Amino acid sequence: MPRLYHLSSCAILLVAIVTYCDATKSQIRMPGVVPEADSYLCTSLELSDQENYLTGFKALTTKGTAHHILLFGCEEPGSEELVWDCGEMNKPDDELPRAPTCGSKPAILYAWALDAPPLELPKDVGFQVGGLSNIRHLVMQVHYMHSKQEPDETGLEITHTEEPQPKLAATMLLVTGGTLPKNKTESFETACVIEEDVVMHPFAYRTHTHRHGKEVSGWLVKEDEKQEDHWELIGKRDPQLPQMFVPVEDSSMTIQQGDMVTARCVMNNNENHDISMGATGEDEMCNFYIMYWTDGDVMHDNTCYSPGAPDYRWTREADLNHIPK
Q: Which residues sit in the known binding site for Cu(2+)?
A: 67-68, 143, 208, 210, 285
Residues 287, 299, 206, CA angle at the centre, nearest 5°? 25
- The Cα 103–Cα 1 span in angstroms is 16
Write the single-letter amino acid at 263: A
- The Cα 248–Cα 258 span in angstroms is 21
- The Cα 80–Cα 59 span in angstroms is 24
- The Cα 33–Cα 44 span in angstroms is 14
Q: CA–CA distance from 201 to each of 124, 154, 253, 255, 314 (Å)?
A: 13, 32, 6, 7, 24
To 10 degrees, the CA torsion angle through 187, 193, 199, 205?
Answer: -10
- The Cα 187–Cα 310 span in angstroms is 9
What is the side-by-side strand order in the sheet with 213-223?
A: 184-193, 260-269, 213-223, 229-237
Residues in Cβ contact with 291 at an 8 Å cutoff, skipping those fewer than 6 apart: 121, 169, 170, 171, 172, 202, 203, 204, 205, 206, 245
DSSP of 77-107, one letter per residue?
Answer: BS-SSSSEE--TTS---TTS-B--SBSS--E
User: Which amino acids are annotated as binding site, given as ranges?
Assistant: 67-68, 143, 208, 210, 285
Write the single-letter amino acid at 157: E
Question: Could you list the active site residues?
Answer: 67-68, 141, 143, 208, 210, 285
Neighbour tally for 275: CB within 10 Å: 20
For residues 139 and 43, the answer to whether their CB atoms sit within 8 Å is yes
Helices then strands (H, E): number in the chain? 1, 23
